[in-house]
Amino acid sequence: MSPRDPARDHHDDGPDAYRVRPTDYAEQHTADQETMTHASDPQNESQIQDVIDRILAADAARASSHSTDARQPEADQSEGLLSGRALALSEGGHGHTDDDGEQYDLAARQALRRVGGLSTELEDVTEVEYRQLRLERVVLAGIWTEGTAEDAENSLRELAALAETAGSEVLDGVIQRRHTPDPATFLGKGKAEELREIVAMTGADTVVVDSELAPSQRRALEDVVRVKVIDRTALILDIFAQHAKSREGKAQVELAQLEYLLPRLRGWGESMSRQAGGRAAGGEGIGSRGPGETKIELDRRRIRTRMAKLRKDIAAMKPARETKRANRKRNQVPSVAIAGYTNAGKSSLLNRLTHAGVLVENALFATLDPTVRKAVTPDGIGYTLSDTVGFVRSLPTQLVEAFRSTLEEVADADVILHVVDASHPDPEGQIAAVRQVFTDVDARRIPEIIVLNKADAADPFVIARLRQREPRSVVVSARTGEGIDQLEQMISEAIPRPNVALDLLIPFTHGEVVSRLHSPEAEIISETYEAEGTRLRVLVREDIADELRPYIQGSGPAA
């Protein structure tokens, strides 16, 4: 979690309670930067583990003590959706239908979802929907549909780290065991009501759900828990929005946010028209119908216009980066991309390999703008090394799309260093998630070196297991420097090498040519001084070979 942990209070108010002392976000943020502690540091891990343990213990306790209660988790689990829906129908619960709560006080609902902001400037749409997610007191909710209890815990733990990265305070969390999410309220009805109690008890103002919610699910769940509900996608988009620094990055994130928002706006529009129908007799609906729909149409059109503009802007910003990339290609400087799950240590590794001072932070998505640095192999061959945006499980598709141009950096590389945090509880899951993104951006065919990082903190047993699964791997610690030599050696073997052998005689008056060859662009095999000039046997790339034609004594392919 974060450095404010020491200040944290634990009150054991009951099995569900996990309280933290409210802290100032600004203070926390500076502290984050100063101390660079992390969600993965053992103390924080153990605190998150505490929460998880409590959640699971509470679940178990509830299960055994209320075994006749129809709302208990097993009922949802064994009878699945049907029982959930039937229950809802029999009780006539509003929150559990596919209707979206128009039955409730409209003003309250609008306040809850803050849709009021939609009527003003378009910028406000993103402001309202995303920027205000910060500094909130959240309760997490996830469902455990497949895999082990540990997978479910890891997922919730990651959600907690994401929420903290977004500046929220995590108060509690619940996991429900179900075959599939409830189509109406995501969690089963009983669990959703328990969640409302937890929300009330902890004084949370937001629930964050560990999946992507359908617009109707979000509304229905909001109606039950009575506070704002955010899904994992919105949370990740929010983090990206907070972290993007370059103009291009900002534009990409805004585009992704609008893409996410558009169908949700439509959902709201539908609810408005249904509402008007339902309340027409009361007179209330009639007045709200026309303006409501018109405003939505207007907002939708504005959003589309804005999206078109963003796409155009992004397209216009692309050439600069592409020119740079084209230059590197023309000069045939090999390119190595560092990719991997967020917080795996990619920036730390870049710093290790190039002595660059790239921001390393114990936060998810510390890096959003790709950095490209020059690096040299131990035997003096130059290559470029680029740091990239971290990946995350179920990276919102809107983001993959928006960041496609950035991720192309990866797709264009000669070699990918796939950095893995070997000290993470589920490194295999992270590897799979990252490879999914490689597939999405068409980078799967590029030679990949698995870099098992954080060897200083990882379990040797896990490392052995990973090494076995991933033969082309190397164990390193960006922190201690362990294994870096070996990694450099592997990079050196993996990158395309200069392959044209030349025998050159360079007049002493052309000293600049000699010095150019004494650079990472060429590999010098021998150098002697003769009466007419410097005699050099070198290996260079084709483009340079052309320029050196005047000095050639004899040439041929490398041995």
Ligand X SMILES: Nc1nc2c(ncn2[C@@H]2O[C@H](COP(=O)(O)OP(=O)(O)OP(=O)(O)O)[C@@H](O)[C@H]2O)c(=O)[nH]1
Nearer to ligand X, 138 or 451 (CB): 451
What is the rounded distance in angstroms from the CA atom of residue 78 to the CA atom of residue 67?
A: 13
| Residue of minimal Cβ distance to Mg ion | 367
Nearer to ligand X, 75 or 441 (CB): 441
Minimum separation from the CB atom of position 364 to ligand X (A): 5
Minimum separation from the CB atom of position 18 to Mg ion (A): 29
Minimum separation from the CB atom of position 346 to Mg ion (A): 5
Contacted by 181, from Mg ion, ligand X, none: CB < 5 to 8 Å by type: none
547: its two tokens:
């320029």
Minimum separation from the CB atom of position 227 to ligand X (A): 29
Minimum separation from the CB atom of position 344 to ligand X (A): 4
21: its two tokens:
């002392």
Sheet with strand 169-177: strands edge to edge: 169-177, 137-144, 206-209, 228-231
Minimum separation from the CB atom of position 8 to ligand X (A): 19
Using CB under 5 A, list all residues that contact Mg ion.
Answer: 346-347, 366-367
Nearer to Mg ion, 238 or 387 (CB): 387
- Give the chain's end-to-end CA distance (angstroms, integer): 55
Minimum separation from the CB atom of position 68 to ligand X (A): 47
Contacted by 420, from Mg ion, ligand X, none: CB < 5 to 8 Å by type: none
Q: Give the DSSP per-residue string, 30-55.
A: HHHHHH---TTSHHHHHHHHHHHHHH
127: its two tokens:
């402001």
Q: Where are the alpha helices (DSSP H) in 331-425?
A: 346-354, 397-402, 404-411
Using CB under 6 A, list all residues that contact ligand X.
Answer: 36, 38, 342-348, 360-362, 364-367, 390, 453-454, 456-457, 477-479
Nearer to ligand X, 202 or 388 (CB): 388
467: its two tokens:
């090494």
| Residue of minimal Cβ distance to ligand X | 390
Contacted by 479, from Mg ion, ligand X, none: CB < 5 to 8 Å by type: ligand X
Nearer to ligand X, 204 or 241 (CB): 241
Residues in Cβ contact with 126 at an 8 Å cutoff, skipping those fewer than 6 apart: 241, 254, 257, 258, 261
Nearer to Mg ion, 270 or 361 (CB): 361
CA angle 534, 539, 541 (to 5 degrees): 120
Contacted by 348, from Mg ion, ligand X, none: CB < 5 to 8 Å by type: ligand X
Nearer to ligand X, 240 or 268 (CB): 240
Q: Which helix (H) or strand (E) holds 536?
A: strand 533-540
Contact assessment for residue 409 and residue 402, using Cβ atoms and an 8 Å cutoff:
no
